[in-house]
Amino acid sequence: MNRENSFRHNPLIEERYFSKDIEAMKNYDSQFRKAIESGESYEFTIKLSDIIELCPRQKVGKESYQRFIRFLKSKNITMNLVSRKKGHKDLSENKLKDKEYEQ
């Protein structure tokens, strides 16, 4: 086993770890619910202030959601997390399509 593979997380453990976040997102976005349950591809943009309310973390900031974003990406879901603060970059692998939150 190479070093890169040794650090990968078990998808079943990850799913349990993020179970509260997944449930919160299902209640927030019906398209998310459909995608996570069916395995369909889905991309959405959410404001940092919204995700903080839905999926609280000890530390507040975009960096706190990187692992969740990677987990969702493994499920073919791309979450674009945006902040109103200048200079903050999108954490998803894709560039923001929705420029509404940029100043």
Q: Quick one: pLDDT at residue 19? A: 95
Output the CA–CA distances (angstroms, integers) from residue 67 to 18, 27, 73, 95, in the order listed. 10, 21, 10, 18
- Residues lower than pLDDT 50 in the chain: 1-7, 88, 91, 93-103
Residue 7 included in any domain? yes
Fill in the DSSP letter of residue 55.
Answer: S
Q: Quick one: pLDDT at residue 86? A: 57
Q: Quick one: pLDDT at residue 8? A: 60
Q: Quick one: pLDDT at residue 79? A: 97
Residue 61 included in any domain? yes
Residue 33 included in any domain? yes
Residue 92 included in any domain? no
Smallest Cα–Cα separation from 15: which of 6, 1, 26?
A: 26
Q: Quick one: pLDDT at residue 60? A: 84
Residue 94 included in any domain? no
Domain count for the chain, please give it.
1
Residue 96 included in any domain? no
Containing structural domain, residue 20: 3-85
pTM reported for the whole predicted model = 0.72
Output the CA–CA distances (angstroms, integers) from residue 47 to 9, 15, 53, 61, 102, in the order listed. 27, 23, 10, 11, 11
Residue 90 included in any domain? no
